[in-house]
């Protein structure tokens, strides 16, 4: 029996790299959907909704495939910090995160229409930032393109400049909790 193809329903290069690390062949199809990005929405609900939205769209077009959707956001003070609108927004996010601990939530959705498979998981990690002054913020923004990253930062790129420590899955903070993805794929019979 041949295994179904795996499709990553995400345009994120970081998710692509992390999934490739599991050694499972996959293709990428980006779903042309409008994601929920209301900062007041419960972040667990928002990332679960967005992951399912992407996975459901791709799965409807490729019913035989296993489709993995994912969405990640940063949560602090009762609000989601999604991708910054511009450099000024990224600076403001880093100022808010400085010296504090926040939560990174990722929603995962695995779908296969032909079998009726619907698996959903949520993963949370905590990140503690160092105190940051304006010089460190500017130096960090000069080194890292932050506009496509929730919270305006990337822990894997010069993270030592801004991050004091983390609890939970490091790959979740990057954008795809590979430990949980591996468990989901194994449950579906893929040798991850």
Catalytically active residues, by annotation = 71
Task: Tell me the two tokens of residue 107.
Answer: 């929603």
Determine the Cα–Cα distance for residues 4 and 6; give it in Å rounded to an integer: 6
98, 132 Cβ separation under 8 angstroms: yes
CA dihedral 113, 58, 66, 83 (to 10 degrees): -130
Q: With residue 133 as reference, give the H or E element that holds it.
A: none
Q: Which residues contact 40 (CB under 8 A, 6 or more apart)?
A: 79, 80
């Amino acid at each position: 029996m041949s295994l179904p193809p795996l499709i990553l329903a995400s345009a994120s290069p970081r998710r692509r790299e992390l999934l490739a690390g599991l050694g499972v062949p996959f293709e990428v199809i980006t779903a042309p959907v409008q994601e929920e990005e209301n900062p007041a929405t419960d972040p667990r609900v928002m990332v679960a909704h967005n992951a399912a939205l992407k996975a459901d769209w791709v799965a409807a077009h490729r019913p035989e495939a296993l489709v993995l959707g994912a969405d990640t956001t940063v949560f602090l003070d009762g609000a989601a910090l999604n991708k910054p609108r511009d450099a000024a927004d990224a600076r403001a996010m880093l100022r808010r995160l400085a010296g504090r601990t926040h939560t990174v939530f990722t929603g995962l959705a695995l779908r296969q229409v032909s079998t009726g498979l619907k698996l959903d998981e949520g993963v949370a990690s905590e990140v503690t930032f160092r105190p940051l002054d304006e010089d460190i913020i500017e130096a960090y923004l000069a080194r890292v393109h932050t506009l496509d990253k929730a919270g305006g930062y990337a822990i894997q790129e010069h993270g030592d400049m801004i991050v004091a420590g983390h609890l939970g899955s490091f790959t979740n903070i990057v954008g795809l909790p590979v430990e949980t993805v591996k468990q989901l794929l194994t449950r579906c019979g893929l040798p991850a």
